[in-house]
Structure 1
Amino acid sequence: MQARYKLLIHVDEDSRERLNMALSMAYNLLDVVGEGNAEVVLVFNVRGPMALMRGSLDDYARERVNELMSMGVRFYVCSIALRSLGVRREDLIDGVEVVDSGIKKIVELEGQGFAYVKP
C-alpha cells in the first residue's frame, strides 16, 4: 500500500530549535494520520548535519529521533555538506543515511510527490 501522505522536512541550520520543530512536525503527522498512512523523510544539508552529530542531541531530541526512526522515518544527510563542514560519517548518530547531494535528494523526493516543509 502506498502512503497517503508524503512529507519532506528540510533542515539546513545547526539549530536545536529548528531540529526540535522538524522532529515535532514529523511526529505530529504520524500521530494524526497513523504510521501506515504517511511516509516521512528529513533531509539535512548546509549546516543541518551538525545537529545530528554524536553528542549534539539533547535528551528530547535523542528520544524523538530514535522514536521516529523506529516508526520508519528516514534521515538523509548531504555528503557535500559533511565535506564542507569537516564532519565524518562516523561522527553522525546511528541510523542516518548519507546521500551524495541533499538538494538532489530534495528534488527527487518532490518529484515523487513529497510535500516540502521547512521549519
Structure 2
Amino acid sequence: MTRFLAALALLAFAFSPISVMAADVTHKVAIHVDQNDHQVMNMALNNAKNIDSYYNAKGETVEIELVAYGPGLMMLRDDKSPVKDRISAMSLEIDNISFSACGNTHRAMSKKEGKEVELLDEATMVPSGAVRLIELQEQGFAYIRP
C-alpha cells in the first residue's frame, strides 16, 4: 500500500501544472527606457543581455522587449543613438529581443526638428510607448526600469 501511495504521489507531481509549466515556460520581460542617458541605456542593454544569458544557461527561453519613449527614444535614433552599434550586435546575438519606439514621441521629435526622425532598423514603431508597456504587462511580461 505504501508503494502504491508513493507512486500515486509521484505521478501527481509529474503531471502537476507546476512541473509541466517549468518544462515549457517562456519568460517575458519588458525593459523601460525613458531617459536620454547613455548609462541608463547601457544598463537596460546589460539587463537584457544578463537575463538572456541566465535563462539560456538553464535551457529556458526568454522574450525581451525594450520600450523607449520620451527622451529615451534617443536610444533608437539612427543619427544620435549612443548605443547604436551595441543594439545592432545584440540583435544579431539574441534572437528573442525587440526594440519598440514610441510613435507619439517620434511624431513630436519629427515635428520639432522639421523632418522625419530616422530610427534604427532594429526598432519597431508602436503607437504609444506607455500603452505598449501596459499591453506587455497585461500579457504577463515582467517590468524592469533600469
Quick check: TM above 0.5? Answer: yes
Per-residue Cα deviation, 1:44-95 (whole angstroms, up to 9, x for no partner): 011111122124244xx33431233221310000010112222635x11112
**1:3 to 1:56, Cα distance in 2 relative to 1, 3 A:** farther
Which consecutive segments of 4 or more residues in structure 1 shift more than 4 A?
A: none
Q: Which residue in 2 is equivalent to 1:114?
A: 141
Percent sequence identity is 29
Q: Which has the higher helix share?
A: 2
Unaligned 5+ segments in structure 1 are none
CA contact (8 A) 1:3 1:39 kept: no
CA contact (8 A) 1:47 1:85 kept: no
**1:85 to 1:79, Cα distance in 2 relative to 1, 3 A:** same
Higher Cα Rg: structure 1 or 2? 2
CA contact (8 A) 2:74 2:81 kept: no
What residue identity is the alignment partner of 1:102? Answer: G
**1:73 to 1:2, Cα distance in 2 relative to 1, 3 A:** farther
Q: Which residue in 2 is equivalent to 1:4?
A: 26
**1:2 to 1:84, Cα distance in 2 relative to 1, 3 A:** farther
Q: Which residue in 1 is equivalent to 2:72?
A: 48
Q: Which residue in 2 is equivalent to 1:69?
A: 91
Q: Across the two proteins, how many residue pairs are aligned to each other?
A: 116
Greater mean deviation of Cα atoms: 69-78 or 32-41: 32-41
> Which protein has greater RCO, CA pairs closer than 8 Å, 6+ apart?
1
Q: 1:103 aligns with which of 114, 117, 130?
A: 130
CA RMSD of aligned residues (A): 2.1
The TM-score, its normalising length taken from structure 1, stands at 0.86
Q: Which residue in 1 is equivalent to 2:37?
A: 15
Unaligned 5+ segments in structure 2 are 1-22
* Cα distance in 1, alignment partners of residues 77 and 55 from structure 2: 30
What residue identity is the alignment partner of 1:104? Answer: V
